[in-house]
Amino acid sequence: MKIKYCHIIIILIICANYLFGQDSSFVINNYSLDEITVVSDKIDTKLSDVPTKIEVISAKEIESVNGERLPDILKTKSNIFIKSYGLTPALSTISTNGLGAEHTLILIDGMKLNSFQNSQIDLSIIPKEFIERIEFINNGVSSLYGSNAIGGVINIITKNKEHLAQNKSIKFGASVSQGSFNTLGYKVNAYKEIENFNIGINYNKESSDGNYEYYFQDKLKERQNAAYILSDVGLRTQYIINNKNVIKFFSTYADQNKQIPGIETGTTPAPTKQKDRNWSNILTLDNNLTDNLFLKTNFGYQNNLLDYSVGKFIRSIYKNLVYSGSSELRFKNDIYGITSGYEFTNASLESRELLDGIIRNQHALFLSSSYNFYKSLIIFPSLRYDYISDIDEGTFTYKFGINFKPLAISQFGIKANVGSNFRAPSFNDLYWKNSGNENLKSERSINVEGGLYYFFSNVLDGKIELTYTHISAENKIVWVPQTNGLWKPKNIAESLSNNFSISIDLVESIFENIKININSGIQITNTRKTSSAYFGDPTQNKYIPYIPLQAANLNFGTNYKNLDMNIFYSLSGKHFSDFENKIEVKSYHTIDGNISYQINWFELVSKFKLEINNITNTKYEVVSGYPMPLRFYKLTLTVNY
């Protein structure tokens, strides 16, 4: 493992030798530096000016990866760890900066997706078909988004044009795919522009036996009870009233029927099934009041149903409803920007497993601003207040950040920020029958981040960024055993995270028709539980389970005319599956890749894509007892008109 890790470091050092260019026109993924603007900071700031590390995953990158769902995209980044229980769409949760899935906030067009039931979300329910780009804030930002935003924020930006129609013809697209384990998928989509109105519709379906091969106790076996059928429907519309007022609507419905194979013990798994029905809707009103003053209003509705069963004897049903609304007023000019807003959320849960009448009303006020001092120093103060009704708790959070360019060139800079963050207790924590604890308080943290970045252009165009993150968390909720044999959550844990990352992105055109893209990174994570529940607690100062101590990625893509090829190398260091760090999950590395060819014939565009996953046939587990698949394939034909 150390040898492989050193190889990645050497590659990054070699790439860094290209840093000494002086051209200020850095271009990556077809966007110049001045064109890359992030919206997740609520001020719409240039990527080179933000006070924290923000990684933008473009539409081209999303299209290039293997797989069809959000975890397939995120797992190609070294600073994002996907805790996967098997072949996608098996349960997949996220970890950032050494913290749990409940500490990373997932947004879609700014609307929270984390469940109020458990503070998490299964990332596999989100198809990449609807995603235009992804912005990843690599630190806590509760001062903008409230609860759950302790470790980081993933903001998914959906596909939606923002201009008047120029081509009023209708567009169609379809694809069919066939892969290992009797996997079959197909998609259809249509898009129409009519004067100031456009509408797009997508439908995806995928089924598989999921019976992949793996090794258990050095014997080749086949996964049982792992079949699935997935369906996704998406609708996006936009009405451009005039050049100052736009109405957008996005709706997506996911229907998943999955068998759950469970932990591998050498015996036949129980007949476990899970059905998910997730319906999410967002209505957005954008108003340009003046050239510098903007009003944005969002309304959201989510209706999520989970039906879990084991044979005929166990069945649990959970129905989550969420209504939300927000209004943001933003002013921005060349010197300063300021955004103020109000958010309201009503969440409820019905289940026989929890107490009756669970309702949460959450109100929030926030203020975020930026001020540019002489174009070399920009400061970013922000403040937010959240009131949560069911625990009768009010929380202030803050953040103060800077972006400083000490040299005459604008491509080199320093980022730094400090802030407070929190996570409110979930409904499961508070109201689980016979075990919940209604006296729980919110988890809290203080986050500090600092880093350097440099955009360069000489032999290669690219950027390099080094980041250090420190997170001190307290009041963390831990379920502990009681004398009656039941487990109960308590605010007793503290943890300390010290994380270092380096990332390098390169892009270059060779000759006239060949283009190369390289994305690489290393993440070193040190997150330990620092608290002690009792004298001699063996979990004190131990690593948090399921957090790799090291991770690295090297993604390579090349394009020659109509031919594309992509290779994705990933290294995950060792981690532990228990709080005492006695059970070690070994480090592993995987290589995935794909090759595609596009044929243009008049207005018909066809594309063939071959995907190969786990090319090296690596035997590995992400979660102890849940073997991952050996090498597998998929072939896709896509036609657009």
pTM (predicted TM-score): 0.92
Chain mean pLDDT for the chain: 90
What pLDDT was estimated at residue 9?
41
Tell me the C-alpha distance between 130 and 204, whole Å. Answer: 11
Mean pLDDT of the region 208-236: 94
Tell me the C-alpha distance between 231 and 203, whole Å. Answer: 7
Mean pLDDT of the region 21-41: 54
77-126 tens-digit pLDDT: 989 999 999 988 888 999 999 999 999 999 999 999 999 999 999 999 99
Pick the CATH number of 2-640 from 3.30.420.10, 1.10.8.420, 2.40.170.20, 3.40.50.300: 2.40.170.20
Between vectors from CA 490 to CA 488 and to CA 493, what angle results, nearest 5°? 130
Residue (of 613, 604, 607, 619) closest to 631 by Cα position: 613
Mean pLDDT of the region 251-259: 96
Burial 491-527 (b: 16+ CB within 10 A, else e): bebbbbbbbebbbbbbbeeeeeeebebbbbbbbbbeb
Give residue limits of the domains in the chain. 2-640
The yes-or-no verdict on residue 399 having pLDDT over 80 is yes
Position with higher pLDDT, 189 vs 167: 189
33-88 tens-digit pLDDT: 446 888 888 988 988 899 999 999 999 999 999 999 999 999 999 899 999 999 88
Instruction: Report the relative pairing of strands 152-158 and 104-108 from DSSP bridges.
Output: parallel
Query: What's the token pair of residue 516?
Result: 């190369």
Where residue 170 falls among pLDDT bands split at 50, 70, 90?
A: confident
Burial grade of 2 (CB within 10 A; 0-12, 13-18, 19 or more): exposed
Mean pLDDT of the region 550-576: 95
Determine which of 33-42, 132-141, 212-221, 333-342 has the lowest per-residue pLDDT on average.
33-42
Query: What's the token pair of residue 494?
Result: 């503290």
Query: What's the token pair of residue 379?
Result: 């400061």
Query: What's the token pair of residue 596?
Result: 């595609």
Where residue 14 falls among pLDDT bands split at 50, 70, 90?
A: very low
Residue (of 318, 108, 349, 355) closest to 234 by Cα position: 108
Place of tokens 């996704």: 232
391: left (phi over 0), alpha (psi -120 to 50) or beta: alpha
What pLDDT was estimated at residue 373?
87
Instruction: Report the relative pairing of strands 197-208 and 228-242 from DSSP bridges.
Output: antiparallel
Determine which of 11-25, 91-105, 234-248 has the lowest per-residue pLDDT on average.
11-25
How many H helices and E strands in the chain? 5, 40
Position with higher pLDDT, 397 vs 28: 397
Tell me the C-alpha distance between 339 and 14, whole Å. Answer: 42
